[in-house]
Amino acid sequence: MVRIVLFIITNLSVMILFGSILSLLGFWSSTTLGLVRMAGIFGFGGAIISLFLSKFVALSAVDGVIINKASNDMENWLLEIIHKQANKLDIVAPQLAVYDSMDMNAFATGARRNAALIAVSTGLLKNMNQESIEAVIAHEMNHVASGDMITMTLIQGVVNTFVIFISRSLAKLISYWTSFMQDQDNEQFNTNDNQYGDVNSSLTYVIVSTLLEVLFGMFASVIVFWFSRHREFYADAGSAKLVGCRNMISALQELKCSYESKNNTNSIIATLYINSVKKNSVISDLFASHPSIDKRIEALQRGTYLNKSSYFF
């Protein structure tokens, strides 16, 4: 709750600041107020809808099966581990799902920490020992306990809102400027092309706002992915506290050698995986949802995040 209130207050404060600047410049109007509302609705709307549909989308994407009742010893053990870790983290035990895939992977999703889902691949269950599997589950459980799904949704909503608001505000200023220049030309040559001027102004607004939304959207993605990588380090540290640092490092080392499924590379839920496939380059690192496994292992060995018991971002 504190996290939600903090994000809402921050978002509103900065929006008011931008509105005040526009007011001082003489551009504050009912139209600008409408833009603020529209930016907030569309900025948060898509992110929130995605959050509430996350379970359905994720399960559909991997064709996962929810395990409500164990049918074998492995499923029974997995359910026991999830309930045991949930008790330690003081949360309601997430649902368990298993999906068929050769790669060793797992993910957590859900709109609320007490109504979450953890899914594991058959490749992970077949190729990892129990200590490493327990560490992977503990990593996902820490995502759930820390409310990472809603945190990332709020961050995405904030940046979406500002992308829409700032790009369209700048586009409006530019269209005003082009319209003003057009009027100056009309006065200089004693012509009256108001109709064409209005069309040009509207066209300028549409083109500029679209280009700016694409450009700012790319910068916004860098911010969102930075937060995402930050959360992975904390989830690794949380897992190390639950099952031991050595077991978490061992799990990461095994994930590093995992088979890379072509289906997962282009999956719409690739950012959820504990082991997200990515290329190695400076640019791709900026848009990576996960830090490299080598960096994650190094952070655990140094204890960088182990002494930070709580965090908001």
CA atoms within 13 A on the CB side of 116: 27
Residue 233, pLDDT above cutoff 90: yes
For residues 109 and 286, the model is more confident at 109
Q: Which long-range contacts (CB under 8 A, 24 or more apart) does 42-49 make?
A: 42/160, 42/161, 42/164, 43/157, 43/158, 43/159, 43/160, 43/161, 43/162, 43/163, 43/164, 43/165, 44/157, 44/160, 44/161, 46/160, 47/153, 47/154, 47/156, 47/157, 47/160, 48/153, 48/157
Residue 199 CA: distances (Å) to CA of 194, 202, 237, 307 = 9, 5, 57, 60
Is 140 one of the annotated active-site residues of the chain? yes
Strands 65-66 and 95-99: antiparallel
Query: Which among 139, 98, 102 is positioned nearest to 120, based on CA atoms?
Result: 98
Q: What is the pLDDT of residues 3-60, one digit of tens each?
A: 445 445 555 555 555 555 555 555 544 566 677 777 777 777 777 888 888 888 888 8
**Cα angle: 195, vertex 201, 202; to 5 degrees:** 95
Q: What is the pLDDT of residues 242-286, one digit of tens each?
A: 999 999 999 999 988 775 544 444 455 667 787 765 556 667 778
User: Given this model, what pLDDT does residue 35 score?
Assistant: 72
Point out the catalytic residue in the list 134, 140, 213, 232.
140
For residue 263, how many other CB atoms are within 10 A of its CB? 12
State phi, psi for 52 to the nearest 5 degrees.
Answer: -70, -20
Helix H or strand E segment including 121: strand 117-121
User: Given this model, what pLDDT does residue 1 score?
Assistant: 45
Q: In what order do the strands lie in the sheet with 65-66?
A: 65-66, 95-99, 117-121, 106-109
> Residue range 197-220: average pLDDT?
77
